[in-house]
Structure 1
Amino acid sequence: MVTYDPYDALPEVAAFDLTSASFADGDRLPLAQVGGMLGSGGEDRLPQLTWSGAPEGVRSYALTCFDPDAPTASGFWHFAAYNIPASVTELEAGAVQLDTVTNAFPAAARVLRNDGGVAGFVGAAPPPGHGDHRYMFVVHALSVESLELDELASPALLGFQLFGTTLGRARITGTYGH
């Protein structure tokens, strides 16, 4: 399998730190972050995430989770949210689940439908025998307070809106395979 890094094609921006109490960068995702909806026996729960060191001028954040190794020509978006207030620098584990946005997720933030068709988090679920996939959790520090997107917008359209407004990017990657 040929792997690529979709972020290599984007303009370089400031880097900042993203960590998780749920898993370490490069580690296998725990069952809580594995897909139940897609039949992998997991819980479809967003991991705990903490970020720090964002560049000056941040007015909001966006958060995405993308699998570039999915057997499609476009990867698979597991999660996409935007309009996360600049004051928020941490999300607790399970703040977003399969099709549920809990009170632990910022009220001002918006969650888009993922490639599983639900406005929530779909956990890791590569096809059996397809090997390990990478799940890139990325926090985008934005120069705008809010993005105006229709509730039916795709994560790819969010990515287009991030182009030109992203001041910095932080990433942590987990893996999972059968």
Structure 2
Amino acid sequence: MRLEFALACAATLVMSAPVVAGDFTLTSTDISEGAQLSAAQVFGGFGCSGGNVSPQLAWSDAPEGTKSFALTAYDPDAPTGSGWWHWSVVNIPASVSEFPSGISGALDNGALELVNDYGATGFGGACPPAGEVHRYVFTIHALGVEVLDIPETASNALAGFMINANTLGRTQITAVYTR
């Protein structure tokens, strides 16, 4: 009974979070909507040969009341049953509106990079099974709290729950990759 109630509450929070807010926009000089990721954003390992460089991302026109941001990069097509988290960053100050290319591992603004599904902290590039096209969804979430109260070792599931519970709006770019 408790588990059913918790799941129902979680589903309500996720479904009630706005998908977009006004003119909140995400842009990038490295990735484009529907376009193939470059070798720079491909993982270097697991049979893939790439630069494993986090892309440049810039966001603007966040919703009123935004106190911080969170970034997620997710592959919903991974053959895991739960997708694949490539990058999660929380507690990005509201004063930040851009990440330059290659910033992963060098954030010094109080933001917290979580462990990706490769088991490493920070950005982990694309590396789908050979012959498969996968989508890579880069999302900036505008949050109504300054800091998410989660441990540095938080799972991406816990981070996702807390992000969605505090989201005022979100914007995204979905790129693809195949090898």
Q: Does TM, normalized by the shorter one, top 0.5? A: yes
Could you say which TM-score interval applies, normalised by the shorter chain?
A: 0.7 to 0.9
Cα displacement string for residues 101-133 of structure 1 (whole angstroms, at most 9, x for unaligned residues): 12xx2430001101110011110000112x210
Moved segments of 4+, more than 4 Å: none
Aligned to 1:69: 77
Q: Percent identity?
A: 49
SS in 1 for 2:115: coil
TM-score normalised by length of structure 1: 0.88
Q: Report which of the two has the higher share of helix.
A: 2
Query: 8 Å contact 2:17–2:168 — kept in the other structure?
Result: no
- Runs of 5+ in structure 1 lacking a partner? 1-8
Compute the RMSD of aligned alpha carbons.
1.2
Q: CA deviation at 1:143?
A: 0.1
Q: CA deviation at 1:163?
A: 2.5
Q: Aligned equivalents of 1:75 and 1:11: distance in 2?
A: 22
TM-score normalised by length of structure 2: 0.87
Q: CA deviation at 1:40?
A: 1.1
- Runs of 5+ in structure 2 lacking a partner? 1-13
Q: Answer with 37-46 or 80-89: which moved more.
A: 37-46
Aligned to 1:117: 119
Aligned to 1:167: 168
Counterpart check, 1:11 vs 2:16: yes
Q: CA deviation at 1:12?
A: 4.5
Aligned to 2:144: 143
Counterpart check, 1:57 vs 2:65: yes
Aligned to 2:56: 48
Counting matched residue pairs gives 163
| Equivalences for residues 148-159 of structure 1 within 5 A | 148-159=149-160
Cα displacement string for residues 133-178 of structure 1 (whole angstroms, at most 9, x for unaligned residues): 0000000000000011111111111011113210010100110012
Q: Aligned equivalents of 1:18 and 1:38: distance in 2?
A: 29
For 1:133, the aligned partner's letter is H
Query: 8 Å contact 1:60–1:84 — kept in the other structure?
Result: yes
Q: Aligned equivalents of 2:114 and 2:17: distance in 1?
A: 25
Aligned to 1:134: 135
SS in 2 for 1:43: coil
For 2:123, the aligned partner's letter is F
Counterpart check, 1:34 vs 2:42: yes
For 1:77, the aligned partner's letter is W
Query: 8 Å contact 1:84–1:106 — kept in the other structure?
Result: no
Q: Aligned equivalents of 1:85 and 1:12: distance in 2?
A: 20
Q: Aligned equivalents of 2:130 and 2:31: distance in 1?
A: 22
SS in 2 for 1:50: strand
